[in-house]
Amino acid sequence: MIKEYAFLISLVFIVLATMVGAFIRRRSRDKCLKDFSGNQVTLEQTGGKTIWGQLRIEHTGLELLYASAKTDGKGHTESSFILYKNEFPSMQALVRFHDDLSEADQLAREKVLQKTYQPGLYSRGKRRFVNLFKTIRDSLTEVINLLMSQAKKATPAGAVLSGQDKHVNQMKQELIGSAGTSYEPLLERYIGQHVVLELLKGDSREDLSGILKEYTAEFIEIMDVDYSTAEQPSPRKADLVVLRKYGVVRHLG
């Protein structure tokens, strides 16, 4: 009977951990990348190569959908380009050139820009609440550990629960990791303001002036930048998402 009871609890923990993990991963998208989702963007790689298409975001990476199918040098027909999450370090920048956007996307972008400049009461309150959660999320581990410890002591199934640490830890990692965004006090106060982004490109550094829109643990998003690529050397107005390993906000603009 005890073995059957232990097996049933183990099965419940496995199913619960799997469902929680699948749900969180399915909904998890980087906020900076998500801002460009559905737009025509240019993916600039660290070697200088650029790929252009409509952006689609998944938790495992991103995909650029071509406007029309292309044929490569070997005669292969291609209709999209996929960059997996583990390949993100090869991404120099994700560029949204303003003149590549449709009229509807340009209007939507202007609305977002105005909200960034002048956030409403709801937007300010929501951001403060989220930032508060980020500052205390490290304590969530201790809270969950305390609850599990009490459950092990106070319930008849305590001995069985003690054997489920692997699945409990898996759920904790999914829940806490789902926050996904690191709170950065130095950057938070400059959201919606002009800043200077120092971008590492190969062996050189480039200073870009624009409006800080958002940041996450991995990326920084900056709007209204004059930007050029190796394949298009003439600067054009654009919005950028860059990896924080390549770009840092160095100055208030």
Write out the DSSP string of 132-169: HHHHHTHHHHHHHHHHHHHHHHHSTTHHHHGGGHHHHH
**Which residues does 6 contact at the CB level (< 8 Å), separation at least 6?**
160, 163
Report the distance separating Cα 69 and Cα 91, nearest Å: 23
SS3 188: helix
The tally of domains found in the chain comes to 2
198 and 169, same structural domain?
no
Show the tokens assigned to 63: 């995909």
Specify the pLDDT at position 168: 58
Which stretches of the chain drop beneath a pLDDT of 70? Answer: 1-28, 120, 122-123, 130-181
Pick from 51, 45, 94, 48: nearest CA to 230: 48
45 and 12, same structural domain?
no
Specify the pLDDT at position 179: 47
Confidence (pTM): 0.74
106 and 24, same structural domain?
no
Range of the domain at 21: 2-29+138-177
Show the tokens assigned to 78: 């291609």
Maximal C-alpha separation, the chain: 75
Q: Is residue 192 a part of any domain in this protein?
A: yes
157 and 142, same structural domain?
yes
164 and 52, same structural domain?
no
Q: Is residue 68 a part of any domain in this protein?
A: yes
117 and 197, same structural domain?
yes
Show the tokens assigned to 59: 């938790």
Specify the pLDDT at position 119: 73
Report the distance separating Cα 87 and Cα 41, nearest Å: 18
Q: Is residue 128 a part of any domain in this protein?
A: no
Show the tokens assigned to 186: 């130095």
146 and 40, same structural domain?
no
One-letter amino acid of 187 = L
Report the distance separating Cα 179 and Cα 174, nearest Å: 9
Lookup result for tokens 């990348």: 33
Lookup result for tokens 């998890």: 28
Q: How many CB atoms lie within 10 A of CB 34?
A: 15
98 and 9, same structural domain?
no
Report the distance separating Cα 143 and Cα 30, nearest Å: 26
103 and 7, same structural domain?
no
50 and 20, same structural domain?
no
88 and 48, same structural domain?
yes
103 and 49, same structural domain?
yes
Q: Is residue 132 a part of any domain in this protein?
A: no
Q: Is residue 202 a part of any domain in this protein?
A: yes
Q: Is residue 130 a part of any domain in this protein?
A: no
Q: Is residue 97 a part of any domain in this protein?
A: yes
Q: Is residue 131 a part of any domain in this protein?
A: no
